[in-house]
Structure 1
């Protein structure tokens, strides 16, 4: 059973990869904290379904959330995994007003829920909060532009190495076994053709990465980190 508690500014400050909150001062964090709650999920649970009213957005304080669609046959098709420190569903709240995909919280996950109605009310009543949120979104845009340059400047193997390391750091993957995101999605995420992904994986032997069938094994995480550091900081996020 999920356990609820009030959200605090300290909870928001503990989210290093949440751009919406990155530029907020103490007073603004206090205002946002008044609109949310924290819930711990000990077991996997469906958070929302595609088409549901987008009445909130979320941040992962610890653990992971799987966003997925359903095929015509009723099978799950994983879209992405949201890891620790990342937010999701903002676009649905601010845009169409409906969740476009399904979300399943994984067991052992702590989730921050920001109530949409209360949050929009806080934005209307606090201009400083609105300006700082806009500043945070602009900073996110700068990050994305930097990421585009990162993609253009590095080889497929280097991009993949950065992505694998980010999966480990976000706790979305343990560094052994099947990758938590479909390979086609990974290829799209790092800007390469799907057929190039296997070749890129094979070239990461020197970075301590091995492939055994469908499993990918990071045999030496320190070596992978050193490999990524050799061409620049690993800043490819898993989300």
Structure 2
């Protein structure tokens, strides 16, 4: 069971990092926050399964959540990894009313969970708030579609370089040691086959990246950043 506590003023400030809340004023954010609670997970746990009623949505304050689907053989296919400053499952709450994928929270993660019925009650009392949040969702969707198109335009090595740089810039990984997620999940995240990941790593010598067993080392972050800049892999 997770440790549960009310949202604090510090939590409210952190929530503004999530695109869903970025356009809300202080009173609107407080109204939404009143429907939520903070939860820390010391162990990995399944938050919900595909097909479950969408009774809540979440925002990640720390750590990661894996959204995945299961094929007919029961094998997992990673849909995305949700990290700090991102929200998820709100589309299911607004739309079909059931979660379309499975969600597993990783050990050590801290999430804000917003109760679905209480949240929808707030929206019914403030339609302008609902429109602003939907507008934020649409903007986020457009951004993700752009990212997918950009990702497919690059080689596996370029995709991996951009992903490693994003881990460093988000303070998710220090640039040395074991990667924060399994290599198989990284391969799924950047849209390549798992067996291609090792080859992609070997091709990043010119970007200052070396692989030693399970450890990856970025010898020179500026070199990696320059490599990514050559194909538009940095913001």
Q: Given the two structures, how large is their TM-score scaled by the length of structure 1?
A: 0.78
In structure 2, the partner of 1:112 is: 112
Distance 2:97 2:132 in 1: 23
Q: Which moved more, 1:115-124 or 1:44-53?
A: 44-53
The aligned runs of 1:83-122 (5 Å cut-off) are 83-122=83-122
Distance 2:16 2:225 in 1: 20
Q: Which moved more, 1:35-44 or 1:1-10?
A: 1-10
Is residue 202 of structure 1 aligned with residue 205 of structure 2? no
Q: Is this contact kept in 2: 1:81–1:172, CA < 8 A?
A: no
Q: Is this contact kept in 2: 1:37–1:112, CA < 8 A?
A: yes
Q: 1:151–1:42: structure 2 CA closer, same or farther, 3 Å change rule?
A: closer
In structure 2, the partner of 1:225 is: 225
Please, which runs of 5 or more residues in structure 2 have no aligned partner?
Answer: none
Once the 2 structures are TM-superposed, how far is the Cα of residue 61 of structure 1 from its aligned partner? 0.3
3-state SS, counterpart of residue 203 of structure 2: helix
Q: Is this contact kept in 2: 1:8–1:33, CA < 8 A?
A: no
Aligned length: 231
Q: Is this contact kept in 1: 2:77–2:188, CA < 8 A?
A: no
Distance 1:106 1:194 in 2: 21
Q: Is this contact kept in 2: 1:19–1:136, CA < 8 A?
A: yes
- Residues 137-157 of structure 1 show CA distances to partners (whole Å, capped at 9, x for unaligned) of 243244335535644775553
Distance 1:29 1:96 in 2: 25
In structure 2, the partner of 1:132 is: 132
3-state SS, counterpart of residue 123 of structure 2: helix
Q: Is this contact kept in 2: 1:59–1:113, CA < 8 A?
A: yes
Q: Which moved more, 1:117-126 or 1:198-207?
A: 198-207
Distance 2:232 2:30 in 1: 36
The aligned runs of 1:8-157 (5 Å cut-off) are 8=8, 10-15=10-15, 17-70=17-70, 72=72, 74=74, 76-144=76-144, 146-147=146-147, 150-151=150-151, 156-157=156-157
